[in-house]
Structure 1
Amino acid sequence: METVATTQRNETSSTSINAPLLFWLFVIGSIAGLLVETVYHAIVFGGYESRAGLVWGPFSPIYGTGAVILTIVANRFSNSNAIAVFLISALVGSAVEFATSWLMEALFGAIAWDYSGTLGNIDGRVNLAFALMWGALGLIWTRIVTPRIARASCRIDWRSTAVRAASILGAVFMVVNIAITIQAFARESARADDLPAASPIDHFLDQQFPSTWMQEHFENMSICGSGLRPR
């Protein structure tokens, strides 16, 4: 008789991956990751801090991206043992975190975290402690969350008009949300460099997302303009 763990792995391996499912996994991962990070900060450092990653909604796209990649990995390595899944998740999460940190700093001079001086850090962008956390989160996601999503997904008619419409509308909103967020970061970086508004879009961003709002909404992030920190 198969064990529960083996059954769950088989369910995971049979998950039908499609674009709408991956999108909703991105949304779920973005919300769940933001919740976990907010609770972690409250416990470790005390008090609430806004950890949002987009201008609209409770989303942290770094976790959404990690959730999508880990789901694909779970399908590929579903029969691997827990240690292998843990290590793969730690590697995937650390790679996403490193790439996000580098891009944010290279594009906008933005610093959301700096692990310099901590054990096992690489360029201050990842460290051993958070790699282990990514491993734990990935193990939970692939062994506990993904099998349940697989069962729920089998009961959804992904070709129905309602599901397609909801997925398209949600995707359009998220694309616009990400695009506006990138523009807001770029404009905040320009303001840090004392560059005046040069277009109607700049004026719109200055009115809707001024520096005070950006600092409150992205409370854990410093946007310093084009002058990147020395490493």
Structure 2
Amino acid sequence: MIISLLTLLFVALVVEGFIRVIRYFWNWLRRGRKLDSEKVYKARRAQKAAQTVAEKDLRDFEEKSAPEQVVTAGKTEADAINAYLDNMKFTWYQGVIIFFLGCIAGLFVEEVWMFITAGLTQCRVGVVWGPFSPLYGFGSLFLTIICYNLRRKHAKAWQIFLISAAIGGGLEQLTGWSMETLFNAQSWTYMYLPDHITQWVAWRFLFFWGVLGLVWTKVIMPPLLYRIGMPTTKRQVLFVTLVALYLTADLLMTLACFDRKTERDAGIAAQNSFEEWIDEHYTDEFIANRFQNLVIGEDL
């Protein structure tokens, strides 16, 4: 019992320390050389709009009762975030960060879900480098782009639900079909479910995507975009550019490894030094250990 409590305490301290490092690094990025005056002005204008709304909501805050203060604080934060988003310009900068976070968060949720529902402790990454699942990254990015515009147009909840379900189902269908068609590979299938629509799409998961879209639009996306904000320094732009280049290289290398795995299964020898290098470092054993839920070739 004592060992378990000490372990939990240690994990909590590690998480807290990691969060502190991330905050320090993010603040360091904000202290770099400023971008051109127009971009900085737009970012500061959005922040000023949020501050103005917050100051308006917080008038007479001290004179209210404790329950009223709690309600006022929550409303102030929500109003400030909405005011910021109304003035924010969504660009590739926020998109890369959303994709990066979505890849990691989606992978974590999926592995926890598989452990809870099926008792599986299975590595379900989607790329050769890093703890990323591109399916969730692209899903987060597309949901953000679409839902950000739906929010601006004051779309109703049922509209957000249906569009999010369509985005999620379309992404699953396209990804599953592409993997099987291009690489003769399969990462998941819903054929065993009674409510499957296609091999890669099922009604229950369309419902899940719809609910996720609602939660994303109403709860997660606004404060997340608010905290990401708009870039004001060259450090921020450089860092996000490097992240984008890394993720792009990761995706391209993954495709190259899958392509060579398919060719090896077909008895096709490497045609150049790059393919020979892939065969040497990303063997069938590596693919099997890395992508534990992936079925390729004859096992389909």
Same fold (TM over 0.5): yes
Q: Where does 1:166-205 land on structure 2 (aligned, <5 Å)?
A: 166-205=239-278
Residue 197 of structure 1 contacts residue 203 of structure 1 at CA under 8 Å; is this kept in 2? yes
Counterpart Cα distance in 2 of 1:160 and 1:10: 22
Match for residue 25 of structure 1?
A: 98
Number of equivalenced pairs = 225
Match for residue 100 of structure 1?
A: 175
Counterpart Cα distance in 2 of 1:70 and 1:11: 19
Counterpart Cα distance in 2 of 1:11 and 1:122: 40
1:40 to 113, 119, 128: 113
Counterpart Cα distance in 2 of 1:159 and 1:85: 31
Counterpart Cα distance in 2 of 1:12 and 1:35: 28
Tell me which moved more, 200-209 or 17-26: 200-209
Residue 94 of structure 2 contacts residue 225 of structure 2 at CA under 8 Å; is this kept in 1? no
Cα distance, 1:204 vs structure 2: 0.9
1:29-72 CA deviation, whole Å, 9 max, x = no partner? 11111111111111111031111011001111111111111111
Cα distance, 1:117 vs structure 2: 4.2
The structure with the largest helix share of the pair is 2
Instruction: Check if 1:112 corresponds to 2:187.
Output: yes
Shift in CA distance, 210/110, structure 1 to aligned 2, threshold 3 Å = same
AA paired with 2:273? P
Cα distance, 1:11 vs structure 2: 5.8
SS of equivalent to 1:35: helix
Structure of higher RCO (CA pairs closer than 8 Å, 6+ residues apart): 1
- Runs of 4 or more above 4 Å deviation: 1-4, 6-15
Cα distance, 1:104 vs structure 2: 0.8
Residue 147 of structure 2 contacts residue 213 of structure 2 at CA under 8 Å; is this kept in 1? no
Match for residue 166 of structure 2?
A: 91
Shift in CA distance, 34/197, structure 1 to aligned 2, threshold 3 Å = same
Match for residue 161 of structure 1?
A: 234
1:104-157 CA deviation, whole Å, 9 max, x = no partner? 111100111111142332331100111112122222221111111232133x5x
AA paired with 1:103? S
Residue 126 of structure 2 contacts residue 134 of structure 2 at CA under 8 Å; is this kept in 1? yes
In structure 1, runs of 5+ residues without a counterpart are none
Tell me which moved more, 190-199 or 65-74: 190-199
Residue 119 of structure 1 contacts residue 129 of structure 1 at CA under 8 Å; is this kept in 2? no
Match for residue 123 of structure 1?
A: 198
Cα distance, 1:102 vs structure 2: 0.8
Counterpart Cα distance in 1 of 2:135 and 2:202: 16
Shift in CA distance, 19/121, structure 1 to aligned 2, threshold 3 Å = same
Cα distance, 1:13 vs structure 2: 5.3
